[in-house]
Amino acid sequence: MPRRDELARFLRSRRARVHPEEVGLPTGARRRTPGLRREEVARLADVGVSWYTWLEQGRDIHVSEPLLERLARALRLTPTERAHLFDLAHGRPAARPELSPVVVSDTLRRILDAHPFPALVSNRRWDVLAWNEAAAILYGDLALMPAEQRNGLWALFMNPERRARMPGWEADARRAVAGFRLDAARAADRTEFDALTHALAEVSPEFARFWSEHDVVEIPEGVKVLIHPDVGAMEFEHVTLAHADPDGHVLRVSLYSPRPGESLERARKLFPRATC
């Protein structure tokens, strides 16, 4: 069982990394191996020594989610290591990740700012967290929107200005709803996804109708036509990439680029940084 063997090796390596004094245990002078002893990990995680020994030996034993949480705390795992522990033990993320608040790094913000065309960062629920100057020109200043409305799906149905700039709105909206359903299904805990769809269904009959069709689609890239009152219609190619940050968050980075020809010429007039 390769996954169990990998789990066993991972646990042993993390145990060896933790110094006794870091978890309130005496160092002692007779330790022959680095880090914690198996019985110390078992005591810190409130599990039986034999059971934990079997786990480090790669045996096929049941591992509950609460037990993994206790092991993660006992071994002082980082958010990324904690996610890896659950992947190895269960083949899926933890249902309720214990993560720090999402912060877009300075490096990622500089990359957004350097992109001459619209670029946005959002979380898995499509809440927009950061954007560049070009995105604000195309979509309006997102900073003026209430945070709870700064969501890609919500804006698609509830922002009249956004809708007016999309000549292919219905096809784009259907595709977005199908993509959001797929992302919600992949979430370990979809509580916040469901809260958004329930709230949106109450105020948008169109969303409620599209959502009830249960379509799903993968949309890592595509083409979208957007209209700006200053230059007219532009056809953009767009791609969404996954960015895993050191705290264990997975962010969506969406980059837009106008198609060559008239769209590119109009984009150069609209976006100050577009000199290519």
205 and 268 Cβ atoms separated by less than 8 Å: no
Report the distance separating Cα 175 and Cα 207, nearest Å. 12
Q: pLDDT at position 137, please? A: 95
Q: pLDDT at position 99, please? A: 44
Q: pLDDT at position 119, please? A: 97
Q: Which tokens hold the place of 118?
A: 């619209």
* Residue ranges in 91-168 assigned as alpha helix (H): 106-114, 133-139, 152-158, 160-164
Torsion over CA: 197, 200, 205, 210 (sign): negative
- Residue 130 β-bridge partners: 121
- Domain ranges within the chain, ordered by starting residue: 2-90, 106-270
Would you identify the CATH topology of the domain 2-90?
434 Repressor (Amino-terminal Domain) (1.10.260)
Rg value, the chain, Cα: 24
Task: Give the model confidence (pLDDT) of 118-146 as tens digits.
Answer: 999 999 899 999 999 999 999 988 998 88
Q: pLDDT at position 95, please? A: 61
Task: Give the model confidence (pLDDT) of 16-35 as tens digits.
Answer: 998 888 877 777 656 677 78
pTM: 0.73
Report the distance separating Cα 231 and Cα 259, nearest Å. 15
| Integer angstrom CA distances of residue 107 from 21, 31, 111 | 35, 43, 6
Q: pLDDT at position 80, please? A: 80
What is the DSSP code (8-state) at residue 100?
P
CATH of domain 106-270: 3.30.450.180
Residues of the chain with pLDDT under 70: 1-2, 28-31, 93-101, 246-248, 276
248 HSE (CA, 13 A, CB side): 19
- Residue 227 β-bridge partners: 233
In the block, residue with structure tokens 């083409």: 223
Which burial class, exposed, middle or buried, applies to 97 when counting CB atoms under 10 A from its CB (0-12, 13-18, 19+)? Answer: middle
Question: Long-range contacts of range 49-56, CB-CB < 8 Å, 24 or more positions apart?
Answer: 55/7, 55/8, 55/11, 56/8, 56/11, 56/12, 56/15
Report the distance separating Cα 166 and Cα 163, nearest Å. 5
Report the distance separating Cα 73 and Cα 249, nearest Å. 18
In the block, residue with structure tokens 């989610």: 65
